Structure 1
Amino acid sequence: MDRSKKTLHQVELLTEAQIVAFRRDGMLVLPGVLDADLCRQAREQMWSLIAEHRPSMRRNDPSTWVPFTEEETKRYQRPEGGGDPYFSGRGHRFYIRNGAEDLLLDTAPRALWPVAEQLLGEGEVVWPAGIHEDGSTTGPCLMTEDNVAGMGTHLGPEAETWTGKSTGKTEQLSLPKTGPVWMTGQGTRGLYCTLPNSPPHVENYRSAHSEALYDTFWRLQIAVYIDDLPANGGGLTLWPGSHQRIWDYWEAVHRDAPPPSRPEGVPRWDGYTIPPLPDIKADTEPVETDGPVGSVVLWHAGTLHVAGQNALSDVIRQATINTFVKTPESVSDEVVRRDPSGNLWRDWSEEVRSIT
């Protein structure tokens, strides 16, 4: 359904000082900027689905907010035709794949549309249209082998029915509503929730990662909190300034040999293990974000990040994650795949590029 941008709650544009901070840190927190009533509706939907899929978990009794057992996890099945289970859980995490529905789209990415275009360029961001009448979604995707394989993990045995074979080119791709709709800019990842008393991070933040700097139209990502999130409640954790250091490594090592090619002796590019990460983790203090209901975390897709530990006993971290996708018309396949003369901010707006 095409929603009028003019009738939705819209977040105010960023100030010059905020853009300066975003460029420097690769992240920016906007406290309580989203519509509180839409956030409330999203919470009500979440608890309604919990009552349907996990009735033992009672809203007013935090003692029932316990980790999912292996037996529970196995019960959640993919829908017929492919996609992730609409509701699922594993350990201290549970997921609701409602990211292409109007409620979450209106709450977050559509409300932040002015900011997305301010940062990435007017008319250069894929509009999150959401679900068609037939239950599918459609948007652009660069169909590389890695991207097709990654989407397959969210589509299941029916994956090739949706993606076909890798072509190495950008195509308009149809996906089921619980599929990887974030790959085409048509939905958020749905609700990503962390139960109380989640385990601490594994040694040296092993699951922290940066998104790829190639083969993707991703540039700007957001985390949205649909309920109050106190400190130590599992908020997104980021390493300020890491985006620049990771890019500098890319420039020095991969500029003339973009993946999958690489200079002799250089490890395969992997956002979890690239060589700059140990130094970044050693000398940069990570920032765990928090804030009142409707708070937003903006971050450059290259910034090192990880989900936080929820050390509280009576709070569920309720967040949705979204990626704003550049249009294929604004960044060609050749540039996305090789980026022959770019820099960290080349694909961003003139306003962002001109501010130092």
Structure 2
Amino acid sequence: MMKIQRLTTEEMAHFKEQGYVIKRGLLDPELMAQARAALWAGAPAPLQRDDPKTWIGPFAETSDDPNSVRNGFTWKYRAPGSDLWMKQLLPLNPSVQAIAEQLLGVGTLQPPERLRGIYCMLPEGDRPAQPYHFHIDQHPFHLGVVAYIDDVVPNGGGFSVWPGTHRIFYPLFETQHTFTPKPEAQALLKEIDGQPHVDCHGKAGDVVFWHHRLGHSAGHNRSRNIRQAILYDFKHQDLARLQELPPHE
């Protein structure tokens, strides 16, 4: 049985200041293997697990299938998102849940209904290097988590963040959690977009916890491997009431 991990005082301070924190080796190896197997069982043509040449993007055709969204270098495999084993892999993982409760409060979490899914970034091959652009998610939630089910090397498509931007943008929305940016937020979005980002690369089992107003993006994958991550949004039980309140001072 894996030992339950929690954030240290220093990690809590880092999350508050920078808007994210990475914890290493939280996930169950057997459940990660099950996730990788499910991913390849649902892989679209031409992706073949034993032929890395087929992994290089972009996809020749897009797909708006809600269970398997594909566009360019991105594949969002959502089909297993409500499976119990997926919930056990991430939101019900004892360490992940303990850390979420450290940040949101003990006993405050909504039970998980589903994860976003397994999100993949295909290798870009010889495509010229592309600039990075961040966004802020528009749907209401409290705490985001991105977890790797396979190793992600530097510049391998890892979750990318713009540290500290949550402190800039949180007060520039009319509400705490809905997407209601004030006019001055749009200008700042463009200004900060060109600033340096942090590539949150890591090993299988590593988890990134991030603030819901943090600027972020999927990374460009300059490696030879498919970036494989699972995503989940923690929500407070009282989100329906809290989401429309003005930001805290």
Q: Which TM-score bucket, shorter chain as reference? A: 0.7 to 0.9
CA distances 1:37-75 after superposition (whole Å, capped 9, x unpaired): 21111111111222xx42x322121111133212xx35x
Shift of 1:13: 1.4
- Relative to 1, partners in 2 of residues 1:332 and 1:96: Cα closer, same or farther, differing over 3 Å? closer
Count of paired positions? 242
Larger relative contact order, structure 1 or 2 (CA cutoff 8 Å, min sep 6)? 2
Please name the residue that 1:277 is paired with: 189
Structure 2 residues not aligned, in runs of 5+: none
CA distances 1:276-320 after superposition (whole Å, capped 9, x unpaired): 2233234x42001111111101100110000000011x2000011
Of 85, 88, 94, the residue aligned with 1:103 is: 85
Tell me, yes or no, if the aligned pair for 2:150 and 2:205 is still in contact at 8 Å: yes
Tell me, yes or no, if the aligned pair for 1:105 and 1:187 is still in contact at 8 Å: yes
CA distances 1:166-217 after superposition (whole Å, capped 9, x unpaired): xxxxxxxxxxxxxxxxxxxx21110110111175676561xx21235xx83x
**After the TM superposition, which residues 7-46 of structure 1 pair with which residues of structure 2 at under 5 Å, given as runs?**
11-46=4-39
Tell me, yes or no, if the aligned pair for 2:130 and 2:220 is still in contact at 8 Å: no
Taking structure 1 as the reference length, the TM-score comes to: 0.62
* 1:249 has 2:172 as partner: yes
Please name the residue that 2:233 is paired with: 323
Partner SS state of residue 244, structure 2: helix
Shift of 1:249: 3.4
Determine the C-alpha separation between the residues in 2 that align with 1:259 and 1:105.
Answer: 27
- Relative to 1, partners in 2 of residues 1:247 and 1:281: Cα closer, same or farther, differing over 3 Å? same
Please name the residue that 1:153 is paired with: none
Please name the residue that 2:244 is paired with: 337
- Relative to 1, partners in 2 of residues 1:38 and 1:260: Cα closer, same or farther, differing over 3 Å? closer
Partner SS state of residue 310, structure 1: coil
Structure 1 residues not aligned, in runs of 5+: 1-7, 78-83, 129-185, 344-356
Fraction of identical pairs, as percent = 30
Determine the C-alpha separation between the residues in 1 that align with 2:25 and 2:128.
Answer: 27
Tell me, yes or no, if the aligned pair for 1:10 and 1:114 is still in contact at 8 Å: no
Partner SS state of residue 42, structure 2: helix
Determine the C-alpha separation between the residues in 1 that align with 2:153 and 2:214.
Answer: 23
Determine the C-alpha separation between the residues in 2 that align with 1:332 and 1:293.
Answer: 34
Tell me, yes or no, if the aligned pair for 1:211 and 1:302 is still in contact at 8 Å: yes
Please name the residue that 1:64 is paired with: 54
- Relative to 1, partners in 2 of residues 1:247 and 1:309: Cα closer, same or farther, differing over 3 Å? same
Of 284, 298, 316, the residue aligned with 2:209 is: 298
The alignment yields a C-alpha RMSD, in angstroms, of 2.6
Please name the residue that 1:124 is paired with: 108
**After the TM superposition, which residues 217-236 of structure 1 pair with which residues of structure 2 at under 5 Å, given as runs?**
218-236=141-159
Counterpart residue identity of residue 246, structure 1? F
Partner SS state of residue 68, structure 1: coil
**After the TM superposition, which residues 142-161 of structure 1 pair with which residues of structure 2 at under 5 Å, given as runs?**
none
Shift of 1:114: 1.3
